[in-house]
Amino acid sequence: MAQETQYILSWEAPSFKHYHKNTGWHITFWAVIVLIVGFQIISGDYFGAISIAFIAGLASYLLRQKPETMKVGLSDKGIHLNELHIPYKNMQRFWVVDTDEHRTLNIETTAYLNHLLIIELEDQNPTSIRDILLPIVPEHESNEPTFIQRLTHYFKF
């Protein structure tokens, strides 16, 4: 019989930070894509034009997705994200970002894919989370958002 996991701390959070994009944002996005594809066609790079158009269509589809709510839990064994369990031994380091734009727990793992996990903190106390993880996992020297986090916030991706 499986033993139920006892969480030290748990909360619900969106799977990613969602930014509302108004009509102006979408018009600008597609105007830039049309200019890039036009330049590719004028340059004679038809494969590049098709590739950019395909990637832009895929990005447009993905940017309309809404985040799912997931259960996050810290236990004595690791971090739990819904049904996914990440043992502490698979974590290289962590850092907590607590700025006006970002309140996240960032974790570098040993995994080849999903090497960096970014977990939204919602209304959780960042200091409490840091205090729980600090004796178990090394802390990154920085507590700043990653370049990608800053970029996605700036462009509202």
Extract the tokens encoding 3: 């033993």
Residue 1, pLDDT score: 41
Q: 87 to each of 3, 7, 74, 78, how far by Cα in Å?
A: 16, 13, 10, 4
pTM of the model: 0.77
pLDDT surpassing 70 at residue 3: no
CA atoms 58, 18, 124, 108: torsion sign: positive
What is the arithmetic mean of pLDDT over 51-61? 95
The domain made up of 7-15+68-155 is a member of CATH 3.10.150: no
User: Mean pLDDT throughout 28-38?
Assistant: 96
- Tell me the one-letter amino acid at 143: N
Residues 33-58, mean pLDDT to the nearest whole number: 96
Taking the C-alpha atoms of residue 154 and residue 157, their distance in angstroms, rounded to an integer, is 8
Q: Where are the domains of the chain?
A: 7-15+68-155, 23-63
Distances (CA, A) of 54 to 41, 113, 157: 14, 23, 18
pLDDT tens string 95-121: 999 888 878 999 999 988 878 899 999
